[in-house]
Amino acid sequence: MISFIPDTLAVLPYDRTYYIDFLNDDNISSHWQGISFQLYRDRDCSFTEFLNTYRSLFEDVVIRFGREDRWIVNHDDKDMPWFPTNAKTLVNLRLLFKQNNISNNFKGYLTFTGEDLIVYSEDIISYPYKVFDEDGILYKNLDISHNELPLIIKISGHLNIDFISTDKLILRSLVNEYSQKFVIKEYWGSEIWN
């Protein structure tokens, strides 16, 4: 079941203005920490490379942490219109909005089961890069939050996917599983291995 809910604050399992500021908490064991999965150390990847590589990462992580669970998808730090243009991109996601009589100007969050999230995975991970049908014009990052676990999957317009959590074990398990395929960069202020 997919839902469209305008009041993002009512459901997010974290304060989305706080989790970005990793160093506000003196207790290093409980603050949000992050890792960025990138394809290359010294150059950008193409959109085709991004899609071919990151889609399987995204789907694997969703299956691993909650195929049947609820996932919350929202713009990272503030609600914005989901589709500020009528570009011919993200066809499946735009069709989902249309089928549910949801305006392109809808601000708020969507909830998906893990299964439904996988169905829309290509559009979800392409979203910040493809909302505008012009190279170099990026839109808001997306945060995909597990409903119960302290896990946020951040979809960046810069063609990488980041994972943010207060649970270092979750982040360590992702690094251990995928470090052969990606360059892993720890967020500044994170101490995943301590």
pLDDT, one tens digit per residue, over 24-46 is 445 544 678 899 999 998 888 99
Q: What strand order describes the sheet that includes 109-113? A: 3-5, 109-113, 70-75, 142-146, 151-156, 160-165, 33-38, 183-186
Instruction: Give the tens place of pLDDT for each residue, 60-114.
Output: 999 999 989 999 999 988 899 999 999 999 999 999 999 999 999 999 999 999 9
* Confidence (pTM): 0.92
Q: Which pLDDT does position 28 carry in this prediction?
A: 46
Identify whether the C-beta of residue 110 lies closer than 8 Å to the C-beta of residue 4. Answer: yes
Q: What confidence category does residue 118 fall into, taking pLDDT thresholds of 50, 70 and 90? A: very high
